[in-house]
Chains A and B, each alone.
Chain A
Amino acid sequence: MTMEAMETPEQRIRTLAVELLREGKIDMFVGLRRGVLPLTGTPCFIPASRGGAQEDLEQAVGQLVWGGYSAPNLAAYLVSFYEPDLRLKQQPEKPVLGLQVRSCELRSVYTLVREKQVPRDKLVLVGVPCRGMVDLRRLREKLDLERVTDAVEEPGALKLKLPGGEVVRLDREEFIEDACRECRRPSVPEESVDFLVDGPSRKEAAGVYDAVRAFEDRPVEERWRIFLEETSKCIRCYACRQACPTCYCRDCFAEQTDLHWIGASAELSDIQLFHLVRIFHQAGRCSSCGACARACPVGVDLRTFTQKIVKDVDEFFGSLPGFSLEEVSPLNVFREDDGEEFMSEP
């Protein structure tokens, strides 16, 4: 048994980050640190030049965590590092980033690389195992999360400390996000990253489209009623769009001022158009990471609707965003025998 094998995934991430930063292989490491609130993770950006002192670097890297912390998809931060500043004639040299990625984040990264938003050669990918992310919404339904004073995550349990000092022990698996429960590829393939951190990952899920199928089976008016109810909650804060790594348009159609596709306010039909187009634009891109639904402050059930496009792209065209540079966008190609049962005949 090597030394490495004895490290926990968290220690291994820290070791790799220190090495990469110290050896000058990356300009910045992007990972997660604990948020102030229990069971949350917040993005952590550690630049190589932190005044140079060894202790400083180790202290910064010591914040990096691995676990089920509820956190955004880190791939959502990449495009801003590489998009050109249109005001400048000559673009400055872009940084090389070390990035801690779980499998869903990696799929987003590959989509961004394929779509030329992020250069692969500027990324050092550190794949990490994933046991699923804690679902804060579900926890909130169960207990007064806003008053929980501390929380510890164990492989099979969540231990939360209540204001009175009482500790509640919950079955971890019960409080994992749907996106993770339904994840069919929780492990990072070794060949798709530069470093792979060993550790326990979830098992591959079966029946991933069950929720979509169940929704499809509802009567049409009921489907509309639910869509209406869900979109009525939306406050148009754009958190779903901003949290999504593959919603990267510089000028979103919702904000284009020359064409004015939709109104600027929270008018219901405009909100519905926004979501329909947002979902449609995720065809062939969505990694099913769940970041959009997680980001929503008002609990719109984005997953039920966004997963539909994933399922259709998968079932109609046999395409699912994965871990390679060779995949082609399903909407940039066609087959002569693509299904056309949906088309009308006189």
Chain B
Amino acid sequence: MTARNPYLPSPVRIEDIVIENELRDLKTFKLVFEREEDRSAFRYLPGQFGELSVFGAGESPFGIASAPCEEDYLLFTVKKTGTVTGELHNCEPGRTLGVRGPFGNGFPWERMEGRNILIVSGGFAFTTLRSSIVQMLHPDNRRRFGRLTVVYGARDPGEFLYKELLASWESDPEIDLTLTVDREPESAWKGRVGLVPNVVKELAPAAENALALVCGPPIMIRFTVPVLQELGFADDEIILSLENRMKCGIGKCGRCNIGAKYVCIHGPVFTYAELSDLPPEY
């Protein structure tokens, strides 16, 4: 066997776990490769995903939340929903997990260069967008992109991911960040109140020479896309990331397809124009 066996996970150690939200069902796992050769082989783009293993519970795909410029570790933010995620949430730092990847196409980095980037997100789908923003904000990369506008919504203030990072971005002139919550919170809140599509409409970012990266729950996407279209974004300038059920991550196991496209290899990132040509099975 010359090529690497794509089914074999590389061992990673949990270095740190951050509880992200008040509901405590979102945790970010900071993972460090046990073997240097695995670390250096794991070269990824924002928007790609990895398969995380908890041995005994199984394996699940998650978007990579860390950025390629964060070279020493991987971050995955995981919501507790099923067997694998449940077991992940039971893990303590020090435990060994497995990682396979990176898989999928990632965001269209080459197309994004030289353009203004609008990022629209809701809930815990922000993970690969964190990766993108961190990568773009890196001093080596920042000038390769135009204006960076981010609209990020959550049900209430306690549900935002990466709160420290968000706080640092709020004072960063390189990024125009707008946070919004669905309804008036009980505690003090400096950000906006309103649903993401409405906030995008109000902010009305220019579509000229821009690309929009949109990740969020299906309902948010459904209402955000028409707003972007109205603002002048063409269908192939609206970029979405899908989350179909996946197993192998390498285009073999046959479950994540939408029409003839496999989310794990042709996606998970698709333009709205591409998705419009596919059956609505996602």
Measured CB to CB, the residues of A under 8 A from B are 257-258, 260
> A260 contacts which chain B residues (CB < 8 A)?
83
Q: How far is the CA of A26 from the CA of B8 in the complex (A)?
A: 57
Task: Give the contact-size bracket for chain B.
Answer: under 10
Is B82 in the interface zone, CB < 8 Å from A?
A: yes
Q: How far is the CA of A260 from the CA of B82 in the complex (A)?
A: 10
> A258 contacts which chain B residues (CB < 8 A)?
82-83
Q: How far is the CA of A258 from the CA of B82 in the complex (A)?
A: 6
How many residue pairs link A and B with beta carbons under 8 A? The number is: 5
Contact with A along B64-96 (1 / 0, CB 8 A): 000000000000000000110000000000000
> Which A residue sits closest to B86, measured CB to CB?
A258
Query: How far in angstroms is the closest Cβ of chain B from A98?
Result: 34
> B83 contacts which chain A residues (CB < 8 A)?
257-258, 260
Q: How far is the CA of A45 from the CA of B181 in the complex (A)?
A: 51
> B82 contacts which chain A residues (CB < 8 A)?
257-258
Query: How far in angstroms is the closest Cβ of chain B from A263?
Result: 10
Q: How far is the CA of A258 from the CA of B87 in the complex (A)?
A: 12
Query: How far in angstroms is the closest Cβ of chain A from B16?
Result: 28
> Which B residue sits closest to A264, measured CB to CB?
B58
Query: How far in angstroms is the closest Cβ of chain A from B236?
Result: 31
Query: How far in angstroms is the closest Cβ of chain A from B247?
Result: 10
> Which B residue sits closest to A260, measured CB to CB?
B83
Can you pick out 5 interface pairs between chain A and chain B where the beta carbons lie within 8 Å of each other? A257-B82, A257-B83, A258-B82, A258-B83, A260-B83
Q: How far is the CA of A137 from the CA of B157 in the complex (A)?
A: 65
> Which A residue sits closest to B82, measured CB to CB?
A257
Q: How far is the CA of A257 from the CA of B83 in the complex (A)?
A: 7
> A257 contacts which chain B residues (CB < 8 A)?
82-83
5 closest Cβ pairs, A-B complex: A257-B82, A260-B83, A257-B83, A258-B82, A258-B83
Q: How far is the CA of A257 from the CA of B85 in the complex (A)?
A: 12
Query: How far in angstroms is the closest Cβ of chain B from A262?
Result: 13
> Which B residue sits closest to A259, measured CB to CB?
B83
Residues B201-255 near A (CB distance < 8 A): none
> Which A residue sits closest to B57, measured CB to CB?
A260
> Which A residue sits closest to B84, measured CB to CB?
A257
Q: How far is the CA of A257 from the CA of B57 in the complex (A)?
A: 11
